[in-house]
Amino acid sequence: MDKQSPIGVFDSGLGGLTVLKELVSSLPDYDYIYLGDNARTPYGPRDFETVYAYTLQSVQWLFAQGCPLVILACNTASAKALRTIQQRDLPVMDDPSRRVLGVIRPTTEVIGDYSESGHIGILGTAGTVESCSYPVELAKFFPDKFVHQLACPDWVPLVESGDYLNNTVADPVIRTQLVELLAQNDDIDTILLACTHYPLLYPRIRAMLPPDIDVVTQGEIVAESLVAYLKRHPEMQQRLSKAGEVSFFTTGSTDQFEQGATLFWGAKVKANHVELP
Ligand code: DGL
């Protein structure tokens, strides 16, 4: 195959790297293009129309790079833009056989199995929590489980700024939200980090919670779901190029992206700048 047809992975910033890392680990032969809209992060406090418009621009840009498949590695974009893009935009595009997938559906398909008490805590952005996507989707697969949600509006800025590396700054911000979530119900035994930025806070979160509370991140869940999707869709699997290359693009500063991404990726990351309309 001479033309690259990578899997596009999109997030409002650095968070989607936590998903990309697991995708590359599970499906290392494929090519990937990561796009972080760091210039306009965070998406969490933005209204539906804005998140939809930014996400659509990003998806169109990834399509223009040759991606037949795009993963919205962002809960906020998955909650606010995915359905409209799938149902309204994709069918009228020049190539309607391209696909866009999100992270909420694969997560809600399995997260109920993690909880014995039946009480699941969901931590996400204001946009994700207000959309009620998690309670609505989870009820389809696990009607007997209870969902307790909380928005953590300060957590994405904590990650994007790099302040999460400073425990003195990060710990009080993280602790306040955990206390507030657990106050909603004594039986919460599973906490889902329903924002792809939050796994960067995982060690701090884990250390603050009792060991009998399971803290679940989405990367592996999404990767497993993509493996299954590609098995079910050999026509897509065959379209994707497989040179094992990963490239990184940001709408923000490449220096800042490289600094944050390299730390997380564990190897030097070279970022390219892109302007979206
Ligand atoms: N990583 C995005 C998510 O999963 C963060 C959204 C934001 O920019 O607020 O929701």
Mutation choice for ligand 1 from 14, 55, 105, 197, CB with most ligand atoms inside 8 A: 197
Active site residues: 74, 195
41 pocket-lining for ligand 1 (C-beta < 6 Å) = yes
Q: Is the CB of 12 under 6 A from ligand 1?
A: yes
- Tell me if the bond preceding 42 is cis, omega within 30° of 0: yes
Question: What pLDDT is recorded for position 266?
Answer: 81
**Domain regions of the chain by residue span:** 7-102+220-273, 105-217
**109 Cα distance to chain centroid:** 16
Please tell me the residue having the least CA distance from ligand 1 atom 2: 74
Of 50, 125, 42, nearest in space to 81 by CA: 50
Q: Is 105-217 in CATH node 1.10.3720.10?
A: no
**Are the folds of 7-102+220-273 and 105-217 the same?**
yes
Cα distances from 112 to residues 60, 123, 141, 144, 155, in angstroms, run 34, 15, 8, 9, 24
- pLDDT mean across residues, the chain: 97
User: Would the pLDDT of 2 be above 60?
Assistant: no
Task: Give me ligand 1 centre to Cα 153, in Å.
Answer: 10
Task: Write phi, then psi, for 213 (nearest 5 degrees).
Answer: -100, 120
The residue-averaged pLDDT of 170-174 equals 98
∠ CA 227-250-73, nearest 5°, is 30
**Residue 195 in contact with ligand 1 by CB distance below 6 A:** yes
Residue 1 has pLDDT above 50, yes or no: no
Phi, psi of 163 (to 5 degrees): -65, -15
pLDDT of residue 263: 81
Q: Which two tokens stand for residue 97?
A: 């056989």
CA of 265 to the centre of ligand 1 (A): 18
Q: How far is the CA of 92 from the centre of ligand 1 (A)?
A: 27
pLDDT digits (tens, 9 = 90+) for 103-154: 999 999 999 999 999 999 999 999 999 999 999 999 999 999 999 999 999 9
pLDDT classification of 218: cutoffs 50, 70, 90:
very high
Task: Let me know: does 1 contact 241? Beta carbons within 8 Å.
Answer: yes
Over residues 239-277, the pLDDT tens digits come to: 999 999 999 999 999 999 999 999 888 889 999 999 998
User: Distance from the CA of 151 to the center of ligand 1, in angstroms?
Assistant: 11
Q: What stretches of the chain show up as alpha helix (H) in DSSP?
A: 17-26, 48-64, 75-80, 82-84, 104-110, 126-131, 133-141, 155-161, 167-182, 202-208, 219-232, 234-239, 254-265
Query: Are the beta carbons of 190 and 156 closer than 8 angstroms?
Result: no
55-78 residue pLDDT tens: 999 999 999 999 999 999 999 999
Question: In CATH, what is the architecture of 7-102+220-273?
Answer: 3-Layer(aba) Sandwich (3.40)
Q: In angstroms, what is the span from residue 124 Cα to ligand 1's centroid? A: 8
Whether the CB of 218 sits within 6 Å of ligand 1: no
DSSP state of 267: S
Determine whether the shortest distance from the Cβ of 128 to ligand 1 is under 6 A: yes
Mean pLDDT of 201-222: 98
Other C-beta atoms lying within 10 Å of the C-beta of residue 256: 17
73: tokens are 């590695």
Q: How many CB atoms lie within 10 A of CB 187?
A: 12
Confirm or reject: Cβ of 76 under 6 Å from ligand 1: yes
**Residue 87 pLDDT level (bands cut at 50, 70, 90):** very high
pTM for the whole structure: 0.97
